[in-house]
Each structure stands twice: as C-alpha cells, then as structure tokens.
Amino acid sequence: MAKPTVGVDLGGTKVLAAVVDGRDVGESTKRPTPTDGPEAVVSAIAEMVEELGGAHRLGVGTPGYVDDDGVVGGVPNLQGWDPPVPLRAMLREATGVAHLAVDNDVNAAALGEVAHGAAEGHHDVLCVFMGTGVGGGLVLSGELRRGPRGLAGEIGHLVVRHGGRACACGGNGHVEAYAGRAGMEAEARRRHAAGEETALVDIAGDDRMKSSVFDKALKKGDRVAEELMEEAVVAVGTAIASAVMLVDVDLVVVGGGVADKLGPELVARVGAESSGLLGEALAVPVVPAALGDDAGVVGAALLGERA
Amino acid sequence: MAKPTVGVDLGGTKVLAAVVDGRDVGESTKRPTPTDGPEAVVSAIAEMVEELGGAHRLGVGTPGYVDDDGVVGGVPNLQGWDPPVPLRAMLREATGVAHLAVDNDVNAAALGEVAHGAAEGHHDVLCVFMGTGVGGGLVLSGELRRGPRGLAGEIGHLVVRHGGRACACGGNGHVEAYAGRAGMEAEARRRHAAGEETALVDIAGDDRMKSSVFDKALKKGDRVAEELMEEAVVAVGTAIASAVMLVDVDLVVVGGGVADKLGPELVARVGAESSGLLGEALAVPVVPAALGDDAGVVGAALLGERA
C-alpha cells in the first residue's frame, strides 16, 4: 500500500501527528513538545512519522513566521528555539520525505478551514483563531497569503487602540492584548490585585485561567469576566472590519480554543461588532470554524499535499 | 502611426486625459468634471480621447469601488452619480476602444508607483495617498489586490482608535478622520469654534483649508496645526503597522496632495511612527511617492495596457 500523507501540528505544549485523507483524520499519535530545542523536536516528529508507518507526503504547522524556504523565525512559545531555524531542511534530513512542507500553524489551520471546513468553496477568507494568543490566516484569490517575510495574517498584532493595553509582544493596543486568553488573564489578575472582586480568580486560583474558567464566570454573571469579554469582542470585531477594508474578503471564520469553548454566541457577537463598524453595505458574514481541533493536522496535511 | 495609449484620471473636480508611454506623459487635456451625472462624464472622456487623436488602449481611474466588470459603486465625490454605474460598458460604447479598463483611481496611482515610481522593482507594496481623504492601493506578489468587491486597499477606513473621531463615511476612529485634509479641517474649525486660537483659520478664512494652509501654519509654529499633524502621523503610521502585520509588504509609499506639499519630512515622521510600532525586526521602509500628479494618468494607462 502506498504511504499516506501525514499532517503534524506542532504546538507549544504538544505535538500531534496524524494520517490525513482530505477531511478525514485517521491513525494519530501525540506527545509533549520536547523543550530542549529544535533537534529534539525534529527527532520526535521523525519518530512519530515512523510510528504511523511512514509518509509519502508530510506537512508541518509550527508556531512562528516561516519563510519560503521553511526557515522559522520569531517563535516565542517553543522552548529552546533560537531562530532562524531551518526546520524544513532538518525535517527532510531526519525523515527522508521528499514532499515536505512547513508553514505557520495558523496558516495551516486556515488552509484546512478553507479546503474542508467552514469556508469551503470561498476564495477570499480571513480566519481568526482565538486561543492563548490571537492568530490569523488570510486566503486571497484562493491562495494562502504568506508575504515576503511570512508575516501575513498576524491579525493578533493589529493596533485597535493606539497607546492601549500592553501586548506580550512588547507592542500596545494590539488585538491579542484584549482578546488572547493570556492577555485577558493578565488583565483579570491586575484588576483583582487592584481590589476588584471577580469569580475568574476565585475559580482559577493560581492556576492558568483556562477558557472553561471564563465560561463558568460568564455563566455566573461575573462583571469583570463580562467586561473583559466585551473588550475582546470589540478588539476582534474592529480588527476584522479593518482587515475587510484593507484586503476585501467575503467570509470571516472565527475559531481557536477560546472561540470553540465559548461557542457560537461569542462568534455572533464578534460578527455584530464588525458589521456595525463596516455598515450594512460592506459587512461580511462571520462564522464559527468547523474543524475544531482537527484544523491543525488537516491543514498541515494539505501543505504536504501541495509540496 | 498607431494610435497611442491614453490614461484618464477622473477626479471630483477635474478630468485629466493624457497620451502615456510608460513613465512618459505626452500630450494632455483637462476639463472640469461634469456635475450632471455619468453620461456627461463619459461624453467628456470620449471627446478628450478624440482631441488626443484617439486611443488604441484606454485606462480610466475613477473614485469609488470598481468590480471586475468595471461597474462603479459607492462614489461619494462625483456629483449626480447614482451607483452602480457600468462605467466600462458606457465608455466602450462611447469611445469604441476595445482594450479598455476601469479601476479605482487610487489603485491606478498605486500601479503607477509600482511600475514606474518609488516602488519600481518591488512586488509587495502598500501605497497610501493623503489628500482630501486618505486612499490606498495594495500590490501583493506583483498583482494589484482588488478583492471580490473591489474594496481592497481602503486604508483610510481602517479603525485606529475604537470609538474615536467621526469619519465622513459615518464610521468612527478611521485613519481618514485624522489624516485626510477634510477631516483635519473639520477638527481645526471645531477647535476654533470652541475658542482655540489657530493660524489655520486666520489664513484660510472661510475658504477651503488647503495643504498650503497647513504648511504655512506649521511654519509659523501654530500649536493646533502641529497637534493635528501629529495625530495624522500617528493615524497613518498605525494603519501602516497594522497593514504590514496583516499582509506583509516590504515597502510603503506615501503620496497624495498633502504628503507632496508637506514633503519628505512628513513621510519620514510617518515612517518613524510605523517603525516604532512594528519594532526593529519587522519595520519596513516608508518612502515618498515619486510620480506626483502624474501617478493617476500613468497608472490609468497601465490599466489600459493590461486590458
């Protein structure tokens, strides 16, 4: 039997590899992301591909900016990485797979949503993923927009409030500062430290304030949680409106852990905000992502299919 | 002798038509823009083309959004126009020119700057034109980005301050509200009416506050003029930073009447603002436009060349 296509979703905490056929995710394997640098990650991926019986084609989605040669730059959440890292070349050497592609993880997920998910059949699409941070992928005229430096789609770092809340990247007023789980947690803890009562801290304690914590606090009617969520909705809606004016898309997909957990209601609020800003004539539909946790490996496999 | 290529720059106050060969603008003719609707404008353009000895190829840059069929929508500053207006079809009928293209005027100017101006040789470029309003054109991977609705490049309507200053389009906090000549004039008059002294109103009186008025007031050290200019610089610099994060370009060109009048110093300030926001690693060069008033007809002729 011919070897299959394998998609790999390389994340900050885990690596997921799966045999993928179009939308269908078959056999898969998962392990914690090695924390001792890119060589260890490359070895782990090679072993996982082997476990799955090898690959004829291999696609990998990774955090960071990725250039046309598969070199990774700027990866804040992979420990022990000192960019630039020539990930594609290293993976080719370790796996021997000839049809091999590496791209940004969010770009891969966006490709997945356009090919097999919520944006199937659309050619001009912005995908926004709300998780720990806020990432995006842009498909223009049917092609993933990468840009000369592989930067394109970084909607989390659009400025929506000049001089506004500090972002983890060092900037100010970025979407991610208001709408990323980490930025929202930081703001909740600041407000709590300043004396405000909030169920967010009561529920999370000293642990990471997961999406489920926001969900529970919102269901209790917690005021701080609601205010943070409203700021997140405004930030993402504003960025979507700006993106539509700049590149003109006809569909926006919103996914990621936070959006998946808080559900279609959150996505509807984001859509209402962006439509209000764009006005009736220019508004575009904003819909929930359809692939959920599969988007990463399905999109990565697509990269491999095209390599 | 073969008939030439003619470029037409259709503006809110005047129509300029010229024989164009690459960067070279030859014989030209100009008249006030007819104010009684699209038929009169089309007749005027046909007469002007005739005056120039006819055209083998014809390109027209017009205000408004233009779809792939040359139909114009949303034209706030052409009197008597009730969109949609099938401008390309009307021009074909009136002129008989087979190789005929119509696009947004700012898109045309951007094409001109990329082919023969400040962005020659670049493939991923954002052009920002600061005039009465703020327009933009986006060239991605060597192609003008138009988008499914012809909206792309509208950088003047990116939101840089959520809930900020009212824009002429009905929105709030848009770049154009801070950096368009009309928006700056409106704010200067509001501040004057509220009791603030400003040389801007002393110089302009009840007349339109032209770019030269801002130039004179700035040279006098007028505080209101300087504050308005700083807000304009921040707005445009912020929008450029956001655009770079979203689509990744490697050059930004700033032109238009206000930028041309206030000169390279203004462009340098805009560049410093955007570089400060992007940080050293991601900053892109921001340079003044090179074609000045020729950008419109040179770019329009390029449209015709490609039709």
Are B161 and A157 a contacting pair at CB < 8 A? no
Region B120-139: what's the mean pLDDT?
Answer: 95
Flag whether residue B281 sits within 8 Å of chain A, measured between CB atoms: yes
Per-residue pLDDT tens for B157-172? Answer: 999 998 899 998 888 9
Beta bridge mates, A17: A8, A29
Flag whether residue A277 sits within 8 Å of chain B, measured between CB atoms: yes
The whole-angstrom distance between A154's CA and the closest CA on chain B is 5
Flag whether residue A28 sits within 8 Å of chain B, measured between CB atoms: no
**Among the partner residues B150, B246, B279, nearest to A152 by beta-carbon distance:** B246
pLDDT of residue A271: 97
Q: Which of A134, A159, A174, A249 to mutate to test the interface with B (most CBs of B within 10 A)?
A: A159
Same fold, B5-110+294-306 and B122-289: yes
Flag whether residue A123 sits within 8 Å of chain B, measured between CB atoms: yes
The whole-angstrom distance between A150's CA and the closest CA on chain B is 7
Amino acid at B77: N
Per-residue pLDDT tens for A87-128? Answer: 999 999 999 999 999 999 999 999 999 999 999 999 999 999
Give the E-state strand segments of chain A in sequence order.
Answer: 5-10, 14-21, 24-32, 57-62, 65-66, 72-73, 99-104, 125-130, 134-140, 143-144, 251-255, 286-288
pLDDT of residue B132: 87
Bigger pLDDT: A21 vs A163: A21
Residue B45 has pLDDT above 70, yes or no: yes
Flag whether residue B123 sits within 8 Å of chain A, measured between CB atoms: yes
- Rounded to 5°, the CA angle B301-B305-B307 comes to 110
The whole-angstrom distance between B76's CA and the closest CA on chain A is 14
Residue A1 has pLDDT above 70, yes or no: no
Residue A140 has pLDDT above 90, yes or no: yes
- The CATH label, of 3.30.420.40, 3.40.50.2300, 3.50.50.60, 3.30.1490.20, for the domain at A121-289 is 3.30.420.40
Region B201-227: what's the mean pLDDT?
Answer: 96
The whole-angstrom distance between A168's CA and the closest CA on chain B is 13
Q: How confident is the model at residue B2 (pLDDT cuts 50, 70, 90)?
A: confident
Q: Which CATH architecture has domain B122-289?
A: 2-Layer Sandwich (3.30)
Flag whether residue B170 sits within 8 Å of chain A, measured between CB atoms: yes
Structural domain spans, chain A:
5-110+294-306, 121-289
Those residues with Cβ within 8 angstroms of residue A152's Cβ, 6 or more apart along the chain or in another chain: A138, A145, A146, B246, B247, B248
pLDDT of residue A203: 97
Flag whether residue B273 sits within 8 Å of chain A, measured between CB atoms: no
Preceding omega of A84 cis (within 30 degrees of 0): yes
Chain B nearest-CA residue for A242: B158
Flag whether residue B149 sits within 8 Å of chain A, measured between CB atoms: yes
- Neighboring chain B residues of A151 at a CB cutoff of 8 Å: 244-245, 248, 282
**Among the partner residues A140, A145, A242, nearest to B158 by beta-carbon distance:** A242
The DSSP letter of residue A28 is E
Are A159 and B241 a contacting pair at CB < 8 A? yes
Q: How confident is the model at residue B86 (pLDDT cuts 50, 70, 90)?
A: very high
Count CB atoms within 10 A of the CB of residue B257. Answer: 17
Per-residue pLDDT tens for B9-28? Answer: 998 889 999 999 999 999 99
pLDDT of residue B1: 60
pLDDT of residue B77: 74
**Which run of H or of E encompasses A228?**
helix A223-247
**Which run of H or of E encompasses B24?**
strand B24-32
pLDDT of residue A74: 79
Per-residue pLDDT tens for A182-204? Answer: 999 999 999 999 999 999 999 99
- Per CATH, which fold does A5-110+294-306 belong to? Nucleotidyltransferase; domain 5 (3.30.420)
Q: Which of residues 236-255 of B touch A (CB under 8 A)?
A: 238, 241-250
Helical pair A38-51 and A87-95, crossing angle rounded to 10 deg: 40
Are A277 and B159 a contacting pair at CB < 8 A? yes
CA Rg, chain B, in Å?
Answer: 19
Are B149 and A279 a contacting pair at CB < 8 A? no
Return the number of CB contacts < 8 Å for A and B. 117
- Neighboring chain A residues of B232 at a CB cutoff of 8 Å: none
pLDDT of residue B65: 87
Most distant pair of Cα atoms in chain B: their distance: 64
Region A129-141: what's the mean pLDDT?
Answer: 94
**Among the partner residues B145, B169, B245, nearest to A154 by beta-carbon distance:** B245
Are A146 and B248 a contacting pair at CB < 8 A? yes
- Rounded to 5°, the CA angle A282-A286-A288 comes to 175
Q: How confident is the model at residue B129 (pLDDT cuts 50, 70, 90)?
A: very high
Residue A25 has pLDDT above 90, yes or no: yes
pLDDT > 70 fraction of chain A, expressed in percent and rounded: 99
Are A282 and B150 a contacting pair at CB < 8 A? no
**Which run of H or of E encompasses B127?**
strand B125-130
Residue A272 has pLDDT above 90, yes or no: yes
- Neighboring chain A residues of B246 at a CB cutoff of 8 Å: 136, 138, 152-155, 158, 242-243, 246-247
Are B152 and A247 a contacting pair at CB < 8 A? yes
pLDDT of residue A168: 87
Q: How confident is the model at residue B70 (pLDDT cuts 50, 70, 90)?
A: very high
**Among the partner residues A151, A158, A246, nearest to B282 by beta-carbon distance:** A151
